[in-house]
């Protein structure tokens, strides 16, 4: 497809010369480009379709990279990437060595701050704005944040501090679903709308100009009018942003470039930090995404013409977990399910339909979700908090302080454990094990089959203690010779360990790579056994030593961080029990794993079957 205007946009300055009609055509081309490309690479579709005019307006008014544009999460920055010279690389989006699906400073000078998780933009932007002020640099700092991100506590910490700062900070609130302002009555709603119209600004400027020409009285009269209007407005209407010290503009049509540009220019003239509240339609311009923005928030490959997702309907660990929890909840009315704005992602939309009264979506607030779950548990309920591994990092203090110390039976269903593929370093589930291994009284399980997951969730729900059950993204793929292990609910299972020269210990999905290495080593005459850990904390190290202690070499393969992981502890425990052979530990070591396919990430970290076997030959 030919793009008349988009092909000539290679830097933000190229937008500034376009006419109003040309900008409208450009926005249509951007939407067509996004649909065409994301249908092939996967990525965040609906949020970017809704942010087209907003991003164009931002780059029309501000001068990146002198002005710093900080995107919250960064998943809605695709249009920003197109405008800032990365169009030709878009076919590499989310691929190994290609464009990231989020903002990355190493990718472009137009990305001043990296992102991947929610609610960070205001705090980061305030820090940047303060540093610019201290250095005497000109320029504005713009934080672009969605309404969903305002459920995260960090956003309010940022707002609380930014509102009383004297910085050139402008917060653009992209509201595509939720009403943020507290509207009281029809007059308040009217004022909210009228003070955002360009006509209001023109009238205000004309009044100020006219009164300034009246000697002696003009300036006092203008001040009195301004004071009266402000006092009247505050008497009947306020919102959280004004209460925190911001100048508030909005709501504004987020698909009207001219209106947004005028308000942004006005915000640049204020003496205090400001909030520009815009209303957008998530998925705008693509009927399937507009009708179902949740389904099209993050997509894999899909057919542009009919909107069919090529991966929809495939069985996966998230669905198996949810279905297992539903079955347990049918006979145990103490079971509750909690999510932090990720119900479809973790499969709990299924639970919600069956047990709406025992389902709780707390929004993007993982710390609150953990403590809320602890409160439920304190009063006898059995809360199951399902969360992506990388997002659970945000609730670490609450896991220790509010759950484990009080021995409260919260079940943590940790989705996307291990490598996650194309979302890259901010989303890898590689830290949950080392993060939780040191927490007293917490049990951790890592099933690698659907059958194990079902059995483990049932066991966890009846345990009466804090339990974490971690499982990978996607579906199971189990080699034939691991089928027996895959159905075992034993904490430790063994395969061909009798008289083995080499024994590979592993857990979770990495067992597949261990099995691949076993086959390669077998071709070279090296007799190899496998030990599979279903329970990775605590481990029965006496039994583990009985199974492995006579092998010449033990190799622990861990799809997680080396430091603080299971493999490190296992090596110490086996040596303490008298192991005299060679102990090798293969894990992710001192690196953040960038985007690629999951298999490529195994290879990048030396954890694929070929790399394991090479290390053992």
Mind telling me the catalytic residues? Answer: 282, 366, 394
Asked if residues 268 and 61 have their Cβ atoms less than 8 Å apart, the reply is yes
Distance, CA of 527 to CA of 518 (rounded, Å): 8
Question: What is each CA distance from 141 to 172, 244, 274, 606, in whole angstroms?
Answer: 11, 18, 11, 41
**Could you give phi then psi for residue 269, rounded to 5 degrees?**
-90, -5
Reduced 3-state DSSP string for 168-237: CEEEEEEECCCCCCCCCHHHHHHHHHHCCCHHHHHHHHHHHHHHHCCCCCHHHHHHHHHHHHHHHHHHHC
Distance, CA of 392 to CA of 386 (rounded, Å): 9
Question: What is each CA distance from 323 to 212, 346, 453, in whole angstroms?
Answer: 70, 11, 11
Per-position DSSP letters for 22-52, written without gaps between them: HHHHHHHHHHHHHHHHHHHH-B--HHHHHTH
Task: Map tokens 């198996």 to a residue.
Answer: 320
Q: Please state at what angle helix 20-41 crosses helix 257-268, rounded to 10 degrees.
A: 100
Distance, CA of 126 to CA of 132 (rounded, Å): 10
Q: Is 334 exposed, middle or buried (0-12, 13-18, 19+ CB in 10 A)?
A: middle
SS3 assignment, position 318 = helix
Asked if residues 87 and 98 have their Cβ atoms less than 8 Å apart, the reply is no
Asked if residues 8 and 14 have their Cβ atoms less than 8 Å apart, the reply is yes
Token code pair at residue 542: 């006496």
**Could you give phi then psi for residue 580, rounded to 5 degrees?**
-110, -5
Question: What is each CA distance from 280 to 49, 179, 298, in whole angstroms?
Answer: 10, 12, 18
Asked if residues 552 and 505 have their Cβ atoms less than 8 Å apart, the reply is no
Residues 6 or more apart in contact with residue 353 via CB below 8 angstroms: none
């Amino acid at each position: 497809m030919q793009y008349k205007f988009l092909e000539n946009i290679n830097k933000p300055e190229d937008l500034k010369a376009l006419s109003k009609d040309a900008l409208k055509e450009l926005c249509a081309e951007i939407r067509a480009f996004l649909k065409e490309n994301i249908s092939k690479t996967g990525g965040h579709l609906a949020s970017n379709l809704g942010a087209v005019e907003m991003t164009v307006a931002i780059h029309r008014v501000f001068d990146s990279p002198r002005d710093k544009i900080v995107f919250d999460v960064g998943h809605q920055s695709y249009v920003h990437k197109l405008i800032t010279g990365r169009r030709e690389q878009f076919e590499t989006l989310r691929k190994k060595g290609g464009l990231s699906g989020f903002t990355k400073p190493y990718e472009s000078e137009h990305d001043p701050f990296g992102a991947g998780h929610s609610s960070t933009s205001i705090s980061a932007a305030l820090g940047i704005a303060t540093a610019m002020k201290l250095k005497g640099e000109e320029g504005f700092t713009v934080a672009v944040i969605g309404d969903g991100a305002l459920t995260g506590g960090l956003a309010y910490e940022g707002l609380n501090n930014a509102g009383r700062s004297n910085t050139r900070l402008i917060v653009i609130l992209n509201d595509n679903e939720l009403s943020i302002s507290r509207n009281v009555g029809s007059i308040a709603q009217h004022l909210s709308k009228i003070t955002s119209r360009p006509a209001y600004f023109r009238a205000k400027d004309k009044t100020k100009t006219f009164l300034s020409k009246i000697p002696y009285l003009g300036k006092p009269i203008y001040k009195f009018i301004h004071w009266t209007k402000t006092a009247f407005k505050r008497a009947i209407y306020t919102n959280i942003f004004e209460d925190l010290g911001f100048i508030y503009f909005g709501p504004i049509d987020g698909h009207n470039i001219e209106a947004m540009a005028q308000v942004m220019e006005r915000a640049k003239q204020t003496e205090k930090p400001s909030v520009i509240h815009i209303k957008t339609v998530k998925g705008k311009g693509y009927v399937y995404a507009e009708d179902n923005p949740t389904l099209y928030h993050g997509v894999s490959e899909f057919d542009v013409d009919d909107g069919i997702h090529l991966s929809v309907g495939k069985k996966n660990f998230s669905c198996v977990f949810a279905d297992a929890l539903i079955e347990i909840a049918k006979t145990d009315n103490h079971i509750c399910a909690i999510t932090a704005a990720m119900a479809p992602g973790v499969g709990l939309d299924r639970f919600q339909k069956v047990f709406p009264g025992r389902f709780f979506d707390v929004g993007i607030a993982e710390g609150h979700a953990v403590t809320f779950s602890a409160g439920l548990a304190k009063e006898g309920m059995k809360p199951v908090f399902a969360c992506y591994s990388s997002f659970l990092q945000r609730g670490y203090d609450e896991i220790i302080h509010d759950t484990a110390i009080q021995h409260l039976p919260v079940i943590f269903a940790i989705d996307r454990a291990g490598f996650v593929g194309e979302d890259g370093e901010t989303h890898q589930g590689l830290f949950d094990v080392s993060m939780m291994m040191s927490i007293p009284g917490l049990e951790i399980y890592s099933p690698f089959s659907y059958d194990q997951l079902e059995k483990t969730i049932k066991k966890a729900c009846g345990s009466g203690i804090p339990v974490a059950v971690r499982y990978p993204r996607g579906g199971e793929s189990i080699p034939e010779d691991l089928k027996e292990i895959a159905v075992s609910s034993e904490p430790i299972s063994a395969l061909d360990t009798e008289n083995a020269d080499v024994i590979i210990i592993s857990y979770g999905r990495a067992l597949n790579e261990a099995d691949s290495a076993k086959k390669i080593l077998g071709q070279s005459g090296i007799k190899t056994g496998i030990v599979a850990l279903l329970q990775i904390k605590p481990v029965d190290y006496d039994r583990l030593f009985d199974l492995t202690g006579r092998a010449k070499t033990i190799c622990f393969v861990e799809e997680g961080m080396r430091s603080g992981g299971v493999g490190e502890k296992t090596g110490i425990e086996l040596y303490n029990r008298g192991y005299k052979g060679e102990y090798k530990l293969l894990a992710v070591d001192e690196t953040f794993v960038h985007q690629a396919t999951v298999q490529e990430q195994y290879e990048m970290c030396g954890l694929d079957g070929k790399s394991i076997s090479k290390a053992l030959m």
